[in-house]
């Protein structure tokens, strides 16, 4: 039977970071817990925090389940995570500048050429272009899991448009409203500086043709997008405009925003749309979400796009296996955070091993996300295993496999009281003139007993994440 590391308890003893929650947990009666849970849900509903699940009948907007029991890290634990996350963000950006330039890491034989240059996320439109400050990925969401007191693993990197930071901020806001005494009794590092740091990061990568303070906007696909709440939320907190493609136009060397006072030049675009839709003259010609001619302005230094088109080649799940090598190659350092051991089904020996052990492994589509396109072998039916066997056999290069990790658990409020549930963590690393990381992140929790899938689209919830001050 698999044993899981419980982040609050070591045997019968409460671990140091959770000492301040022991009495709170023990003395909260069921009626108060239910009342507070209903209050939290009411707050989420009033604020409008929903996510969307498409392809299902009825209203796709749902309330994300919120668990009131916070996840806690000590200052020492966070220090290691912060160093590892920043190291990884530096290496990923160095890789992106390299592969759109001379490709030294490929020339040196450290990563196969086909994984980079034949990757569907590799954008030929930006070859030879170096974005301001040499930054391609300005917001790096690093998904982490824990298996023991000192064992953290990177599950995947998100270098394009990682979502969920609004939940990190709102989870904290709601916890502070509902349990002010907890925050008075525990010294918890704040996370509310994130919007200001994000704005500063975006401003720091203004293009060469920008004069004075840059004008910044968030480019959203619109209110039908699953993360639209977050787009409007961040625009409001940063004090910048939220725009859609139809609000922008290109004239000469610059991009302009239509306003009630006439056109206004835009310097930095924080885009929340996929590469394919950014510019119909450069990518998909049928895109109604982007701005015709935007890429010409970008390449000529008239506007910055964050994160840069083409950044997705760094967070491909097959490329992920080479990030430790990137750290050694570009930084001359050993990785602080380890990857999960990974088999690439595109390699014959790896594929044979995976097919022979499908019921023991987690199999993922190289370009999949959101918990879709994934097989959790130990929890899968025979039919599901055989379906994946056929998929891998047909297109082995589209899949990777990893061992089923013994993900740590944290106490979680469930109907019966408090029970351990599996969690992961997504901190948000900001990369511009400086690399910034607020002390916290989005903890996602698998609310179903025994489940290892934490994605909200697959029945997961969220928690507040505390980092204790030293």
pLDDT greater than 50 at residue 54: no
**Domain locations in the chain as residue ranges:** 9-192+314-338+422-467, 208-302, 342-403
Q: What is the mean pLDDT of residues 259-280?
A: 96
At residue 372, the pLDDT reads 61
Instruction: Of 193, 197, 192, 162, give the one whose Cα is nearest residue 175.
Output: 192
Tell me the pLDDT of the chain averaged across its residues.
92
Per DSSP bridges, beta strands 66-73 and 460-467 are parallel
Q: For 406-416, what is each residue's pLDDT tens digit?
A: 899 999 998 87
DSSP class of residue 449? T
Task: Tell me the sheet residues that pair with 271.
Answer: 219
Is the entire prediction scored with pTM above 0.85? Answer: yes
Answer yes or no: are the C-beta atoms of 182 and 175 closer than 8 Å. Answer: yes
Q: For 333-385, what is each residue's pLDDT tens digit?
A: 999 999 999 999 999 999 999 999 999 999 998 876 555 678 988 888 999 99
Per DSSP bridges, beta strands 264-266 and 435-437 are unpaired
CATH fold label, 342-403: Dna Ligase; domain 1 (3.30.1490)
User: What number of residues does the chain have?
Assistant: 470
- Residue 56 binned pLDDT confidence (cut-offs 50, 70, 90): very low
Q: For 298-334, what is each residue's pLDDT tens digit?
A: 999 999 999 999 999 999 888 999 999 999 999 999 9
Q: For 111-126, what is each residue's pLDDT tens digit?
A: 999 999 999 999 999 9
φ, ψ for residue 173 (rounded to 5)? -60, -45
* Per-residue buried b or exposed e for 299-314, using 16+ beta carbons within 10 Å of the residue's own CB: beebbbbbbbbbbbbb
- % pLDDT > 70, the chain: 95
The rounded distance, in Å, linking the Cα atoms of 50 and 229 is 7
Q: For 209-251, what is each residue's pLDDT tens digit?
A: 999 999 999 999 998 888 899 999 999 999 999 999 999 999 9
The rounded distance, in Å, linking the Cα atoms of 386 and 390 is 6
Task: Tell me the sheet residues that pair with 426.
Answer: 442
Please indicate whether residue 289 or residue 46 has the higher confidence score (pLDDT): 289
pLDDT greater than 60 at residue 53: no
The rounded distance, in Å, linking the Cα atoms of 135 and 269 is 14
The rounded distance, in Å, linking the Cα atoms of 12 and 409 is 15
The rounded distance, in Å, linking the Cα atoms of 463 and 68 is 6
Q: At what angle do helices 348-356 and 382-394 cross, to 10 degrees?
A: 170
The CATH number of the structural domain formed by 208-302 is: 3.40.50.11290
Max alpha carbon distance in the chain (Å)?
69
SS3 content of the chain, % helix, strand, coil (to 5): 35, 25, 40
């Amino acid at each position: 039977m698999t044993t899981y590391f419980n982040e609050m308890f070591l045997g019968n003893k409460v671990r140091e970071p959770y000492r301040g929650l022991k009495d709170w947990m023990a003395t909260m009666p069921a009626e108060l817990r239910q009342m507070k849970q209903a209050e939290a849900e009411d707050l989420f509903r009033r604020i409008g925090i929903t996510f969307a699940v498409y392809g299902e009948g009825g209203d796709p907007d749902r309330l994300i389940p919120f668990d009131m029991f916070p996840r806690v890290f000590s200052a020492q634990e966070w220090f290691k995570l912060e160093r590892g996350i920043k190291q990884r963000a530096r290496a990923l950006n160095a890789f992106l500048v390299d592969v759109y330039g001379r490709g030294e890491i490929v020339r040196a034989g450290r990563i196969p050429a086909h994984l980079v240059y034949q990757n569907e996320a590799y954008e030929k439109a930006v070859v030879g272009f170096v974005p301001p400050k040499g930054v391609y990925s300005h917001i790096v969401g690093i998904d982490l899991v824990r298996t023991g007191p000192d064992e953290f693993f990177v599950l995947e990197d998100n270098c394009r448009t990682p979502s969920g930071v609004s939940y990190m901020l709102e989870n904290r806001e709601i916890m502070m409203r509902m349990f002010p005494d907890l925050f008075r009794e525990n010294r918890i590092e704040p996370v509310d500086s994130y919007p200001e740091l994000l704005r500063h990061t975006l401003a720091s990568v203004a293009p060469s043709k920008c004069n004075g303070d840059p004008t910044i906007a968030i480019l959203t696909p619109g209110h039908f997008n699953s993360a639209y709440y977050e787009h409007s939320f961040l625009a409001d907190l940063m004090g910048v405009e939220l725009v859609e493609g139809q609000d922008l136009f290109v004239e000469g060397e610059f991009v302009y925003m239509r306003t009630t006072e006439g056109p206004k030049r835009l310097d930095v675009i924080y885009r929340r749309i996929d590469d394919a839709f950014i510019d119909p003259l450069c990518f998909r010609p049928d895109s109604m979400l982007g701005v015709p001619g935007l890429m010409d302005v970008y390449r000529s230094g008239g506007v910055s796009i964050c994160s840069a088109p083409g950044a997705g080649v760094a967070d491909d799940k097959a490329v992920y296996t080479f990030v430790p090598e990137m750290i050694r190659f570009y930084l001359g350092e050993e990785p602080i955070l380890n990857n999960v051991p990974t088999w690439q089904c595109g390699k014959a020996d790896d594929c044979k091993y995976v097919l022979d052990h499908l019921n023991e492994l987690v199999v993922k589509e190289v370009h999949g996300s959101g918990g879709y396109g994934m097989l959790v072998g130990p929890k899968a039916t025979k039919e599901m295993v055989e379906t994946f066997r056929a998929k891998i056999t047909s297109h082995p290069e589209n899949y990777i496999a990893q061992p089923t990790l013994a993900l740590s658990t944290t106490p979680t409020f469930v109907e019966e009281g408090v029970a351990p549930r599996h969690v992961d963590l997504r901190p948000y690393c900001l990369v511009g003139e400086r690399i910034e990381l607020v002390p916290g992140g989005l903890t996602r929790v698998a609310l179903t007993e025994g489940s290892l899938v934490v994605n909200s689209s697959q029945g997961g919830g969220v928690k507040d994440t505390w980092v204790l001050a030293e």
